[in-house]
């Protein structure tokens, strides 16, 4: 029988300066990239397929970033 998850309250203090906001965004992006990379490495498939998948993720993110800049 599964246990009910306890609710967790988190207080976050966001940076107040533009430089701080940019640094936070940079660090969050790095964590996301590492998480995706580790997840792909754990997949049970050939290395070539993992490389193809990683390239597809990079291309998708690049296309989204380019689309946001065009707006």
Backbone phi, psi, residue 66, to 5°: -65, -40
Percentage, residues of the chain above pLDDT 90: 72
The pLDDT tens digits of the residues spanning 41-71 come to 999 999 999 999 999 999 998 898 787 765 5
Give the Cβ contact number of residue 61 at 10 Å: 14
Selection from 7, 43, 65 nearest residue 52 by Cα: 43
């Amino acid at each position: 029988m599964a246990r009910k998850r306890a609710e967790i309250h988190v207080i976050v203090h966001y940076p107040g300066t533009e430089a701080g906001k940019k640094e936070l965004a940079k660090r969050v992006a790095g964590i996301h990239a590492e998480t995706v990379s580790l997840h792909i490495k754990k997949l049970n498939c050939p290395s070539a397929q993992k490389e193809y998948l990683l390239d597809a993720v990079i291309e998708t993110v690049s296309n989204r970033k380019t689309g946001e800049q065009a707006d």
